[in-house]
Amino acid sequence: MTEMSNPTAAVLIIGNEILSVRTQDSNLNSIAKKLSSLGIKLKEARVVPDVEDEIIAALNALRNRYTYVFTTGGIGATHDDITADSVARAFGLPIIENPEARARLEAHYTPANLNAARLRMARMPEGAALIDNPVSVAPGFRIENVYVMAGVPNIMQAMLDGVVAGLKHGATIYSVSVSGPVPENNVAEELGAIAANYPHLDIGSYPWFRVGKWGTALVVRGTDKVLVDEAADKLFALMAKQGIEPERE
């Protein structure tokens, strides 16, 4: 795959709420979209609870394997926000009160409101670089290739928007989807033959079920736009041969 030379990334979602019934995660999908637009290939994601050993084990596994790791969650002011401590331990760094982070909190809150809980949000591994939080001030931080961001989706997105300029971008990944009301099985064999002819492209088949009807989206992705379009033409022809009008996008 030509995409192998693109920078890679993993997402580490930290929080009991994602593993309980409370919260449907949406951060993974929005990070995937942003990274894809930058040519950074998201290779893996993990969801771990607010348990220090679990966070450390996952973070160390991921940060040594991928160009970037993006974490979400656990950097607020409450007792269950233990991401900063866990990241510090994963890197073997002391955790300190970051002076710049404290200064930002002091500039935002009145002295009466800057309680011990709020000051927790300035605790970071020594040497961390701040990640701006234009929504609610309390910053995220970066240590080496690990970007530690908030879990609240709009804050996470604002933080991510702020760090992308500093990331290595890869070759743009082009993607074409050809979709229609055809059961996946009907096109599976010929699709396999097409995929075998394009070893440098990522060709996938995604069955869907809507309003009682089966369909399939065939998706081709790759960094070579000419090849992607050529393969997409073949996927379109394969679907059209089933007697339907495929949607191409």
Q: Which residues bind a copy of itself (CB under 8 A)?
A: 16-26, 28-29, 32-33, 36, 42-50, 54, 76-81, 113, 115-118, 120, 135-136, 152, 154-155, 175, 177, 184-185, 187-189, 191-192, 195-196, 202-209, 214, 217, 219, 221
Comparing CB distances to a copy of itself, the nearer of 107 and 196 is 196
Give me the amino acid identity at 96: I
Comparing CB distances to a copy of itself, the nearer of 87 and 187 is 187
CA-based nearest residue to 204, from 228, 226, 225? 228
Comparing CB distances to a copy of itself, the nearer of 50 and 85 is 50
The answer for residues whose C-beta is within 8 angstroms of residue 92's C-beta and 6 or more apart is none
Q: Which residues pair with 143 in a beta bridge?
A: 146
Comparing CB distances to a copy of itself, the nearer of 103 and 188 is 188
Comparing CB distances to a copy of itself, the nearer of 131 and 187 is 187
CA-based nearest residue to 73, from 160, 152, 137, 154? 152
CA dist 65 → 11, 42, 60, 167, 169 (Å) = 12, 12, 9, 17, 18
Q: Are 97 and 119 in contact (CB under 8 A)?
A: yes
Minimum CB distance to a copy of itself, residue 106 (Å):
14
Give per-residue burial for 216-245: e unless 16+ CB within 10 Å, then b. Answer: bbbbbbbbbeebbeebbebbbebbeeeeee
Residue 211, phi-psi category: left (phi > 0), alpha (psi -120 to 50), beta (remainder): left
Minimum CB distance to a copy of itself, residue 223 (Å):
13
Comparing CB distances to a copy of itself, the nearer of 54 and 93 is 54
Minimum CB distance to a copy of itself, residue 127 (Å):
26
Comparing CB distances to a copy of itself, the nearer of 129 and 202 is 202
Q: Are 173 and 3 in contact (CB under 8 A)?
A: yes
The answer for residues whose C-beta is within 8 angstroms of residue 58's C-beta and 6 or more apart is 12, 46, 48
Give me the amino acid identity at 180: G
Q: Are 7 and 33 in contact (CB under 8 A)?
A: no
Minimum CB distance to a copy of itself, residue 207 (Å):
6
